[in-house]
Amino acid sequence: MHAALPITGYLDRFSHRPGETFTAHIGVRTPGPARASLVRVISGDPNPAGPGLRFEDLSSVFATDFQGTHQPIALGSYARIEPAPASNPTTPRTWTALIQPGLPHVTRTVLAESDATAIVTLRAGSVGAQAELSWPGGTVTLQTDTPLRPRLWVRLWLCADPTTGALLLGQTDERGTTVTVSAIAPTLRLPSAGTLLIAAETPHAPTNHFTGKIEEPALLAGTIATWPNALDRAPLPIVALWDFGLAIDSQTIVDIGHQNRHGALVNAPTRAVVGARWSGTEHCWRHAPSDYAAIHFHDGDLDDCGWHASFTFNVPASLRSGAYALHLTCADGEDWLPLYILPKRQGPHAPIAFLASTFTYQAYANHARGNADSDYMARMQEWGAYPHNADHWPLYGRSTYNKHADGSGISLSSRLRPILTIRPGYLTFNDPLGSGLRHYPADTHLLAWLTEKGLDFDVVTDEDLDDEGVDLIAPYKTVLTGSHPEYHTPGTLDALSAYTHSGGKLCYLGGNGFYWRIARDKARPHMIEIRRAEGGIRAWAAEPGEYYNAIDGQMGGLWRRNRRPPQQLAGVGFSGQGKFEGTYYRRLPASYEGELAWVFAGINEEIVGDYGLSGGGAAGFELDRADPMLGTPENTVILARSEDPPKSFVTVHEELLGASNTISGENAPDLMRGEITYFDTPSGGAVFAVGSITFCGSLWRDGRFDGPVSRLLENVVRRFAGS
């Protein structure tokens, strides 16, 4: 398995408007000629029984040849502190830090300081504390040979006195166990104006990254024989001490010593984590920052890849809004970089806007599921699907559905890196009943359907909506979501709520939507943060005390826990989940007669959606239901309800009080249902919801976009769009 794809890359943003410029950052395995050309993405489903992979060649609009270069990726977070003014190399000093190792069975670097001639490295792991010093006159290594324990805080310190050559290395844990070793190095020389790294070594190419928490790294004047207590601060004069309880919402670490030798974090380690002194009294770091004076570093962290720009693409004024991609080719392979073109800022606008769930795509970016077995690979090759599964390419970083090497959850995700899961033709599952698509490629079912039906639409994204607010979508008669609009900021929910309460009509065409709260820093807009706090269907659980985002200081977790359940916006919210398989809906009386009979006009069947390209049914995988207790408006009408959930389905955790008791009082199995609902807003707006992730996979039936599900959605979209 190669460490890098033949050719891949990323863009400066997922979207731009006509007149704006995309910057492409491309890396190739073997340097040589490469080419990029524009395509419009019509369908991203490679299933030969479905619409297939369909592109419109737009190389006449944009194509460029460029010289491909190999661009490395350096995984692993650390802090870098630039050299201080030169100090006396004969002055005794001490290096120290509090640590909680995540991988105590391996030895990793905690602190490293070096100048042109001398290097001091303090490590920790299977050998206990380890110090290595080298200078022109010699090298010496000390280690305590007392292995560290997982989840136990330990103080490391290294004392060095060049005047006598005396060295002392110590470790003392929070329970009071202390071990020291000493040596004499007669010609000892120390760095006098060195670069200092925290959680890595070798400044020109950082390596041996520490995984775990570090607190209070410091340089002290003088030496000591023992440390009184592991949690005590420096018993010596401070030269530099980096207080991680300061500037928690930034990528800066603050030195409270007299040199003001502040540093910068690289590759976005996790902040707002409980430190060695957390008492449990406060759970919000803003209220007790000294309790959160630690940073959790990881050897797999990745922020901005930092690749140089390979070429730019200036969006022509004539290019209409939609889903596009840059098709990359070189001698060894190909790749696609999906992008969206927004409409011109001053219009004209189509009547319909598709809201691309880019925050959700980013949360799942490079999700390694561990399911790319031989059967999966055989289907991928047979269908000509996207050939690279995230399981096989850890180089590009993992998703917020994966864990770090120490078992802690990945809470940050960057879009400034290659993201394999956001590719036309990417198979998430080896679906025996359909195509096995999720997220970006699954949402092309809807885009291909809109195109086939001749429905004029623009595309906007979550990030644009968060940046611009309701003004972005106000011109549209209706806004359509994709199959899984799961992750949202306060800004995106505010905008959608303002839209529907000012006459806009929203079609929520998925399931498990508006579920997790994320944070985003407008100064670093490529990064999102998620804390999986207090319930919900989760790939990992945030540690106690670590429920508040570092980026904005707000409570993370479910929007339901933040008093904004999905039902308030969309009428329905997450209720049941199972494997990637589906069932059908049965129509209810309101779908046959009354003011909403038009929704099912032309549909004679009572059973709707017992087919589809996503799990074999329109009501599947993750289902949403109405619940007045959670904010479903009183005037909401339930038009259809799913039946016979597959055996793999369960009721979501947040609905359960015990093994069988539920918050709503209903029987737990009865909550495993999806509902098609409709309600009007007082301003003349409306919300239509389908309550299922797999709904849009059933727009296709028997070789074309036809059938009851297609007719149902066409009735709604044409009515909402005024066509």
- pLDDT, one tens digit per residue, over 473-497 is 999 999 999 999 999 999 999 999 9
Position 277 confidence tier, pLDDT thresholds 50, 70, 90: very high
pLDDT of residue 2: 55
How far is C-alpha 483 from the geometric centre of its chain's CA atoms? 18
In the chain, CATH 2.60.120.200 covers 78-297
Rounded to two decimals, the pTM is 0.97
pLDDT of residue 658: 87
How confident is the model over 380-397, as pLDDT tens digits?
Answer: 999 999 999 999 999 999
How confident is the model over 84-102, as pLDDT tens digits?
Answer: 877 777 899 999 999 999 9
Over range 346-370, report the average pLDDT: 97
How far is residue 687 from each of residues 183, 272, 474, 590, 722, measured CA to CA in Å? 74, 38, 15, 16, 15
pLDDT of residue 1: 42
Q: Side chain identity at 323, as an amino acid letter? A: A
How confident is the model over 527-561, as pLDDT tens digits?
Answer: 999 999 988 899 999 999 999 999 999 999 999 99
How confident is the model over 93-138, as pLDDT tens digits?
Answer: 999 999 999 999 999 999 999 998 999 999 999 999 999 999 998 9
Q: Give domain 323-721's CATH architecture.
A: 3-Layer(aba) Sandwich (3.40)
Over range 283-304, report the average pLDDT: 97
Residue 236 has pLDDT above 60, yes or no: yes
Over range 229-244, report the average pLDDT: 93
Residue 602 has pLDDT above 80, yes or no: yes
Residue 452 has pLDDT above 60, yes or no: yes
Q: How many helices (H) and strands (E) does the chain have?
A: 7, 42
Dist. CA 12–CA 15, nearest whole Å: 9
pLDDT of residue 723: 73
Over range 179-184, report the average pLDDT: 97
In the chain, CATH 3.40.50.880 covers 323-721
Dist. CA 360–CA 120, nearest whole Å: 44
Taking Cα atoms as reference points, which of 71, 483, 85 lies closest to residue 261?
85
How confident is the model over 41-96, as pLDDT tens digits?
Answer: 999 999 999 999 999 999 999 999 999 999 999 999 999 999 987 777 789 999 99
Residue 417 has pLDDT above 80, yes or no: yes
In the chain, the percentage of residues whose pLDDT exceeds 70 is 100
pLDDT of residue 538: 92
C-beta neighbour count of 553 within 10 angstroms: 15
Looking at the chain, how many residues does it have? 723
- Got the DSSP string for 425-474? T--SS--TTS----HHHHHHHHHHHHHHTT--EEEEEHHHHHHHGGGGTT
Residue 34 has pLDDT above 90, yes or no: yes
Dist. CA 209–CA 470, nearest whole Å: 43
How confident is the model over 627-652, as pLDDT tens digits?
Answer: 999 999 999 999 999 999 999 999 99
Which H helix or E strand runs over 718?
A: helix 708-721
Dist. CA 87–CA 46, nearest whole Å: 64
Over range 672-693, report the average pLDDT: 98
C-beta neighbour count of 630 within 10 angstroms: 20
pLDDT of residue 185: 95
Assigned CATH for 78-297:
2.60.120.200
